[in-house]
Amino acid sequence: NAGVTQTPKFQVLKTGQSMTLQCAQDMNHNSMYWYRQDPGMGLRLIYYSASEGTTDKGEVPNGYNVSRLNKREFSLRLESAAPSQTSVYFCASSVQGLRTGELFFGEGSRLTVL
Amino acid sequence: AQKVTQAQTEISVVEKEDVTLDCVYETRDTTYYLFWYKQPPSGELVFLIRRNSFDEQNEISGRYSWNFQKSTSSFNFTITASQVVDSAVYFCALSEAGSNYQLIWGAGTKLIIKP
């Protein structure tokens, strides 16, 4: 039971470098999400994809881009990393939004930007 | 505007004590969904419960129970006979029917169970 898989689990970047976080789910879910979690705070939504072929901004989209590659995969890209993007990133999926059920989360990716 | 408040930043109890984690929410929607998640020290997020606004029955699952009261906009979580393995950060969250993909999170309550 893989569920939601994120890679990499840890990454250190220098300011200005770019990187992509990968996420894949094997539950045949339609909706996928990227969140960030900062110390002492709840999760904040960066982007989401309601279904394959669509993406929408969440609360904190600035500095990020996403791609819904297919139904299984949803990637998050940092084009020019900044120290303010140091955080733990979580990918999640759900059947179809939140009316039909809960979010299933990946294990998280810890990103440090120096 | 929608909001979730978990006023207890940190709670520390001795094993076997009962403990209640408070969650107060604000919403204008009549249809909404409430969630609790657990985040143990290992960092993953574990789903505990989902409740819709039309179902006010209390829920019990083993040592866990939830008290949903629309009159006070609260959805509190009680652990009975706490165990060290219950140590974690617990998050309450709200989704309004009108925002199917947006989950509003509380700041979390860190629960420490001492042996």
Residue of B nearest to A107 (CA): B44
Q: Please give the pLDDT value at position A1.
A: 66
Which residues in chain B touch residue A59, judged by CB atoms under 8 angstroms apart?
A: 102
**In angstroms, what separates the C-alpha of A62 from chain B's closest C-alpha?**
17
Which residues in chain A touch residue B101, judged by CB atoms under 8 angstroms apart?
A: 31, 33, 45, 48, 50, 56, 97-98
**Distance (Å) of CA B73 to CA B10, B34, B52:** 21, 11, 13
Residue of B nearest to A5 (CA): B44
* B47 with A104: Cβ contact below 8 A: yes
**In angstroms, what separates the C-alpha of A114 from chain B's closest C-alpha?**
22
Q: Please give the pLDDT value at position A49.
A: 97
Could you identify the residue written with the tokens 């165990």? B83
Which residues in chain B touch residue A45, judged by CB atoms under 8 angstroms apart?
A: 101-103
- The one-letter amino acid at A73: E
Q: Which residue ranges in chain B fall short of pLDDT 70?
A: none
Which residues in chain A touch residue B23, judged by CB atoms under 8 angstroms apart?
A: none
Q: Which residues pair with B112 in a beta bridge?
A: B12
* B47 with A90: Cβ contact below 8 A: no
Which residues in chain A touch residue B47, judged by CB atoms under 8 angstroms apart?
A: 102-104
Q: Please give the pLDDT value at position B99.
A: 87
Count of C-beta atoms within a 10 Å radius of residue A81: 21
Q: Please give the pLDDT value at position A59.
A: 93
Is the bond preceding A8 in cis, omega lying within 30 degrees of 0? yes
Task: Report the distance separating Cα A77 and Cα A64, nearest Å.
Answer: 6
Task: Report the distance separating Cα A56 and Cα B81, nearest Å.
Answer: 43
Q: How far is CA A26 from the centre of its chain?
A: 16
Task: Report the distance separating Cα A60 and Cα A51, nearest Å.
Answer: 20
Q: Which of B43, B50, B100 sits opposite A97 (nearest CB)?
A: B100
Please answer whether residues A85 and A113 qualify as being in contact, where contact means their C-beta atoms are separated by less than 8 angstroms.
Answer: yes
Count of C-beta atoms within a 10 Å radius of residue B5: 15
* B91 with A43: Cβ contact below 8 A: yes
Kindly give the pairing relationship between strand B10-14 and strand B109-114. Answer: parallel
Q: Which two tokens stand for residue B71?
A: 């009159």
**In angstroms, what separates the C-alpha of B24 from chain A's closest C-alpha?**
15
Q: Which residue ranges in chain A fall short of pLDDT 70?
A: 1
Q: Please give the pLDDT value at position A41.
A: 77
Q: Which of A56, A103, A104 sits opposite B103 (nearest CB)?
A: A103
Side-chain-side CA neighbours of A17 within 13 Å: the count stands at 13
Q: Residue B16 has what DSSP assignment?
A: T
Could you identify the residue written with the tokens 């569920």? A3
Q: Which residues pair with A91 in a beta bridge?
A: A34
